[in-house]
Each structure stands twice: as structure tokens, then as C-alpha cells.
């Protein structure tokens, strides 16, 4: 049986980012989630026409229900949940630009080490 694809697996950059974020503890997530939230909101405002109609479909509607019930790991952090819900409606190109912007924002804010240390820790775990 093949691996179940999640919406964020359509972008390899985003898939890696989500894997790293999902393994962070609450303190680490609190340090980095606000930057993802800011990047997504800036990107969203720059690229989305307010009159544009978005069809959410059954999968997205189910996602909103899960968000309301706080069933997904990222729903426990309001900034992260809001950012990821907006990201789920974007194209692969948009998602990759957001990941790049997020990593740049972490570097500029001086908190990239939190992210890179978690990435390194996961890579070491995977290789052992």
C-alpha cells in the first residue's frame, strides 16, 4: 500500500518543513510559528484578490472541521493553525515561496538555529 499523500506533500520543501515543525516541542513552535504566520499573511495579501472566489471542496471542509475540533498537531498553536490553513489553498509554487520566505524570516529574526537544530536532530535520528 502506497504512502498516503497529504496536501503539503505536493511540495518537497513544505513537506520537510512540516516534518520539522511537527517534531518541535511547544516552546520551539512558539518561537518560530509567528514568523510563518507573518510570512503567510504578507504573501496572502500580495497575491490574493479579495474578490476571488475559492472553492474549498470536501477535503478542505473536512480540514476546517478538524481545525475546529483541534485534532491536528498544528491546531493547538493559533498562529500555526491559521498560517497552515491559508497555505492549504495555495499552489505548489506559492508554497515553496512561502517556505523560502519563512526560512529567511527566521534567519533575519535570529531564531533560525531553533529550526536548524531540530532539522539536524531529525536527520541524525533517521541515519542511526
The span from the first CA to the last CA of the chain, in angstroms, equals 26
pLDDT reported for residue 123: 95
pLDDT by residue (tens digit) across 24-45?
A: 999 999 999 999 999 999 998 8
pLDDT reported for residue 1: 47
pLDDT at 53 over 80: no
pLDDT reported for residue 114: 95
For residue 90, the 8-state DSSP code is S
Lowest mean pLDDT among 16-20, 22-26, 58-62, 94-98: 58-62
**How far is 87 from 77, CA to CA, in rounded Å?**
15
Q: How many CB atoms lie within 10 A of CB 53?
A: 5
pLDDT reported for residue 23: 95
Sign of CA dihedral 92, 105, 63, 58: negative
Phi, psi of 40 (to 5 degrees): -60, -45
Whether 80 and 21 have beta carbons less than 8 Å apart is answered as yes
Enter the C-alpha cell of residue 68: 475546529
Phi, psi of 94 (to 5 degrees): -60, -45
Amino acid at each position: 500500500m502506497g504512502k498516503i499523500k497529504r496536501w503539503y506533500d505536493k511540495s518537497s520543501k513544505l513537506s520537510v518543513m512540516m516534518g520539522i515543525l511537527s517534531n518541535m516541542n511547544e516552546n520551539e513552535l512558539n518561537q518560530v510559528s509567528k514568523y510563518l504566520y507573518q510570512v503567510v499573511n504578507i504573501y496572502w495579501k500580495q497575491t490574493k484578490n479579495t474578490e476571488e472566489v475559492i472553492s474549498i471542496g470536501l477535503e478542505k471542509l473536512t480540514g476546517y472541521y478538524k481545525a475546529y475540533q483541534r485534532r491536528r498537531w498544528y491546531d493547538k498553536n493559533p498562529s500555526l493553525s491559521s498560517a497552515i490553513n491559508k497555505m492549504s489553498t495555495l499552489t505548489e509554487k506559492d508554497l515553496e515561496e512561502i517556505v523560502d520566505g519563512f526560512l529567511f524570516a527566521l534567519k533575519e529574526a535570529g531564531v533560525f538555529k531553533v529550526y536548524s537544530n531540530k532539522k539536524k536532530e531529525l536527520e541524525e535520528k533517521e541515519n542511526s
